[in-house]
């Protein structure tokens, strides 16, 4: 998708709205002004016609001045006036429709024909002849008919000139407003440029937040979101560095042991027993290292995993039964009995199937490995609570508070491991918003309580 400029879009939309408002206002003004001018011109024609109709002895004057011409005025006498002498014309007709007086110019072009104007029915009416709008009026003595005409083009020219003179200030103001709007929008967007420069100058390992003081309210949510993102990135980088450091430390020992066993096998060419022992130890070391690497990779993925899009409705009963059946051969080796106590039926959770399987497997596997032979593991399913309890020796109090720390293994522990199993349990529980509690039972043995 092509990028676009918010500033240009704002200027375009505001300009369009202003132009639309200007067009609507001008159209309304044009319509109203047209009607007003029409009334003014009609009133002007009617007033002129009334003046002609009210002359004393109008009929006698018309008879005595048949086909008389109005005297022409010297244009030099009207140089100081701005006028259009062709805009208005008149003519006078007798009752038979014969022109008896005209203005000597355009008025003589008027014509009167029978049926066009009936003085018996109307004293006044308006008609159009070609380019002229003519008002017809019966004189006061009812002996003649006055026609006063005005050019239609003249009315339209006046209207156009008035609208044009009104439009020029509008357009001038419009361009001035758009210029100021463009400047204001540019200044309003300047904090974003400043912010972008500040972010661009940030060092990769900088963990400070962006100060929102002096930042526009509209940009503040964006800054807060960026600060949260920086905090998550900083936390992730810290975890990654800690993970790499811990992984390097934990892998160094088994790799060194593998090297030693390999060298022993190489030096035991003549001693078959020593060579076999070294090779067996090598296989055990490889298995331990493989398990450690698997645990490290699992923990690494959990640190950056988002499970919201992969949630499913999972039955605790089905999940636990499946894992118990999977680990049954390992439990049988130590003659350990696993009991599932379902006090609440059909307990479900919204979660990630694979991760929850790893959580349950790690808890049961830890119990099998660390409790004595011929022991018992009891898994109780209650409302929103799952407990994993054994009848082993339990855990020392000073050790209990550190359970779940990465690579933590109690002193004197004979069972081989990486110290990551319970760390993985805590991380998976955190992703599913499950509370984990490690504790000792009063009657003896270790217990893990999960509450969601």
253 — pLDDT class (breaks 50, 70, 90): low
Res 114 pLDDT > 60 = no
Cα gap 14→183, rounded to integer Å: 13
pLDDT of residue 84: 53
pLDDT of residue 292: 64
Q: Mean pLDDT: which of 130-139, 344-353, 382-391 is highest?
A: 382-391
Global model pTM greater than 0.75: no
> What is the CATH number that goes with domain 6-69+85-162?
3.30.450
pLDDT digits (tens, 9 = 90+) for 273-296: 777 777 777 777 777 677 667 766
Mean pLDDT computed over 164-175: 82
pLDDT of residue 122: 65
More confident residue, 99 or 1: 99
pLDDT of residue 79: 46
Compute the mean pLDDT over every residue in the chain, rounded to the nearest whole number.
77
Each domain of the chain, given as residue ranges in start order, spans: 6-69+85-162, 220-303, 308-451
More confident residue, 255 or 48: 48
**Three-class HEC string of the chain:** CCCCCHHHHHHHHHHHHHHHHHHHHHHHHHHHHHHHHHHHHHHHHHHHHHHHHCCCCHHHHHHHCCCEECCCCCHHHHCCCCCCCCCEEEEEEECCCCEEEECCCHHHHCCCCCCCCCCCCCCEEEEEECCEEEEEEECCCCCEEEEEEEEHHHHHHHHHHHHHHHHHHHHHHHHHHHHHHHHHHHHHHHHHHHHHHHHHCCCCCCCCCCCCCCCCCCCHHHHHHHHHHHHHHHHHHHHHHHHHHHHHHHHHHHHHHHHHHHHHHHHCCCCHHHHHHHHHHHHHHHHHHHHHHHHHHHHHHHHCCCCHHHCEEEEHHHHHHHHHHHCHHHHHHCCCEEEEEECCCCCEEEECHHHHHHHHHHHHHHHHHHCCCCCEEEEEEECCEEEEEECCCCCCHHHHCCCCCCCCCCCCCCCCCCCCHHHHHHHHHHHCCCEEEEEECCCCCEEEEEEC
In this structure, whether the domain defined by 220-303 belongs to CATH 1.10.287.130 is answered with: yes
Mean pLDDT computed over 146-170: 82
83 — pLDDT class (breaks 50, 70, 90): very low
**Strands 312-315 vs 348-351: parallel, antiparallel or unpaired:** antiparallel
Close Cβ partners of 308 (under 8 Å, ≥ 6 residues apart)? none
Q: Pick the range with the lowest mean pLDDT from 48-62, 197-211, 435-449.
A: 48-62
Q: Pick the range with the lowest mean pLDDT from 143-147, 306-310, 336-340.
A: 306-310
pLDDT of residue 387: 92
Mean pLDDT computed over 9-18: 86
Res 81 pLDDT > 70 = no
pLDDT of residue 349: 86
378 — pLDDT class (breaks 50, 70, 90): very high
245 — pLDDT class (breaks 50, 70, 90): low
Q: Pick the range with the lowest mean pLDDT from 62-66, 165-169, 210-214, 259-263.
A: 62-66
Cβ–Cβ < 8 Å for 314, 355: no
Res 177 pLDDT > 50 = yes
Res 66 pLDDT > 60 = no
CATH T-level fold of 308-451: Heat Shock Protein 90 (3.30.565)
pLDDT digits (tens, 9 = 90+) for 385-412: 999 999 888 887 887 777 877 666 665 5
More confident residue, 321 or 244: 321
* Residue 89: other Cβ atoms inside 10 A: 22
Q: Pick the range with the lowest mean pLDDT from 172-181, 216-225, 362-371, 399-408.
A: 399-408
Mean pLDDT computed over 131-153: 83
pLDDT of residue 91: 87
Res 119 pLDDT > 70 = no
Close Cβ partners of 22 (under 8 Å, ≥ 6 residues apart)? 170, 171, 174
Dihedral angle sign, alpha carbons of residues 165, 170, 175, 180: positive
């Amino acid at each position: 998708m092509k990028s676009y400029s918010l500033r240009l879009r704002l200027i375009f939309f505001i300009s369009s709205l202003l132009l639309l408002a200007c067009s609507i206002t001008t159209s309304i003004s044009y319509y109203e002004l047209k009607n007003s001018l029409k009334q003014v011109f009609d009133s002007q024609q009617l007033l002129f016609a009334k003046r002609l109709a009210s002359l004393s002895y109008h009929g006698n004057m018309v008879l005595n001045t048949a086909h008389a011409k109005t005297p022409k005025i010297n244009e030099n006498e009207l140089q100081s006036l701005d006028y259009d002498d062709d805009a208005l014309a008149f003519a006078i007709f007798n009752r038979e429709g014969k022109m008896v007086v005209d203005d000597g110019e355009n008025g003589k072009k008027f014509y009167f024909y029978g049926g066009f104007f009936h003085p018996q029915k109307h004293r006044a009416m308006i008609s159009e002849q070609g380019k002229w709008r003519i008002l017809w009026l019966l004189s006061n003595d009812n002996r003649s008919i006055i026609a006063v005409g005005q050019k239609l083009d003249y009315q339209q020219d006046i209207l156009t000139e008035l609208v044009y003179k009104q439009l020029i200030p509008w357009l001038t103001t419009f361009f001035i407003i758009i210029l100021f709007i463009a400047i204001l929008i540019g200044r309003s967007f300047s904090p974003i440029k400043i912010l972008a420069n500040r972010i661009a100058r940030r060092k990769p390992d900088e963990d400070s937040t962006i100060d929102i003081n002096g930042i526009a309210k509209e940009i503040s949510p964006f800054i807060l979101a960026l600060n949260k993102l920086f905090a998550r990135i900083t936390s992730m980088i810290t975890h990654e560095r800690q993970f790499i450091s811990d992984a390097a430390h934990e892998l160094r020992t088994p790799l060194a042991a593998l090297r030693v066993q390999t060298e022993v096998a190489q030096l035991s060419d003549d001693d078959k027993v020593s060579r076999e022992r070294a090779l067996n130890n090598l296989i055990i070391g490889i298995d331990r290292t493989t398990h450690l690497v698997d645990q490290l990779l699992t923990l690494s993925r959990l640190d950056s995993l988002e499970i919201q899009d992969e949630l499913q409705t999972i039955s605790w009963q089905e999940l636990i039964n499946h894992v118990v059946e999977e680990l049954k051969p390992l439990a049988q080796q130590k003659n350990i009995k696993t009991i599932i106590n379902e006090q609440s039926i059909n307990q479900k959770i919204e979660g990630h199937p694979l991760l929850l399987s790893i959580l349950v497997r790690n808890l049961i596997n830890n119990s099998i490995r660390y409790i004595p032979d011929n022991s018992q593991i009891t898994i109780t399913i209650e409302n929103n609570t799952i407990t994993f309890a054994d009848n082993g020796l339990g855990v020392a109090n000073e050790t209990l508070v550190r359970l779940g720390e990465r690579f933590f293994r109690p002193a004197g522990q004979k069972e081989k491991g990486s110290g990551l199993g319970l760390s993985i349990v805590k991380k998976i529980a955190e992703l599913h918003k499950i509370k984990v509690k490690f504790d000792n039972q009063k009657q003896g043995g270790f217990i893990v309580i999960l509450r969601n």
